């Protein structure tokens, strides 16, 4: 069962994805290898479980989550079981953007979701991220798969980078724009 963390941030597991629309969730940040089927926007960042990843990888994930929330999306962060990778990311986000230490954030999350237990190698990578200089923000929001967007007409890939005013194919750079809320037109070229 998914756990509300902030008004627009939920923590859960793979089996929670079908429940997202009922909770007003507009995006999922998926950390497991499986790509859940849903009618909402999917940000797929598969990371292996129980494996050390460099701090810069975790910093990028924290930045991805921050950018989703900064754009006023309601987000479910999940991995397969919702006990290690996704809570580690949410704790790192809270530590980075809500003036807590990682361990303060983790203790608070543990009160909210008692089943969480971070794997030692996951913890090592996250703590490394907390001590390094964070990366600069990307000019794109992130790679997404949106059920309403077509395959790229040049390379047939369905993964797009969402910029502020357009989508760009993650593979070949083809641009589709402007962003949702405006009429869609097609244009080629790079930003």
pTM to 2 decimal places: 0.70
Residues 142 and 119 placed together within one structural domain of the fold:
no
96 and 183 inside one domain = no
- Residue 136 neighbours by CB under 8 Å, 6+ apart: none
Q: Look at 188 and 15; give whichever has higher pLDDT.
A: 15
The per-residue pLDDT for range 15-58, each reduced to its tens digit, is 999 999 999 999 999 999 888 877 788 888 888 888 888 888 89
| 34 and 79 belong to one structural domain | yes
Answer whether residue 184 shows pLDDT above 80: no
Identify the sign of the CA torsion 38, 69, 116, 85: positive
- 26 and 109 inside one domain: yes
State whether 160 and 93 are in the same domain.
no
Domain extent at residue 73? 3-131
Q: What is the mean pLDDT of residues 151-179?
A: 65
For the stretch 75-122, pLDDT in tens is 999 999 999 999 999 999 999 998 888 899 999 999 999 999 999 888
- For 63-74, what is each residue's pLDDT tens digit? 999 999 999 999
Which of 116, 131, 146 represents a domain boundary (last residue)?
A: 131
Last residue in a domain, options 111, 131, 151:
131
Domain final position from 80, 97, 131: 131
For 68, residues 6+ apart whose C-beta sits below 8 A from its C-beta are 27, 29, 43, 75, 141, 142
């Amino acid at each position: 069962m998914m756990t509300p963390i902030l008004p627009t941030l939920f923590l859960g597991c793979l089996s929670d994805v079908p429940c997202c629309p009922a909770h007003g969730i507009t995006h999922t940040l998926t950390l497991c290898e499986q790509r859940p089927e849903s009618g909402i926007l999917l940000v797929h960042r598969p990371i292996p479980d129980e494996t050390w990843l460099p701090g810069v990888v975790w910093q990028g994930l924290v930045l991805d989550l921050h950018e989703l929330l900064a754009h006023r999306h309601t987000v479910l962060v999940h991995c397969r079981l919702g006990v290690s990778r996704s809570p580690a990311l949410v704790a790192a986000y809270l530590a980075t953007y809500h003036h807590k230490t990682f361990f303060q954030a983790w203790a608070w999350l543990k009160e909210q979701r008692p089943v969480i237990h971070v794997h030692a190698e996951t913890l090592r990578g996250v703590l490394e991220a907390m001590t390094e200089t964070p990366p600069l923000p990307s000019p794109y929001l992130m790679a997404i798969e949106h059920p309403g967007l077509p395959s790229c007409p040049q390379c047939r890939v369905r993964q797009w980078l969402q910029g502020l005013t357009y989508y760009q194919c993650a593979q070949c750079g083809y641009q589709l724009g402007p962003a949702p809320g405006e009429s869609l037109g097609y244009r080629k070229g790079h930003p």
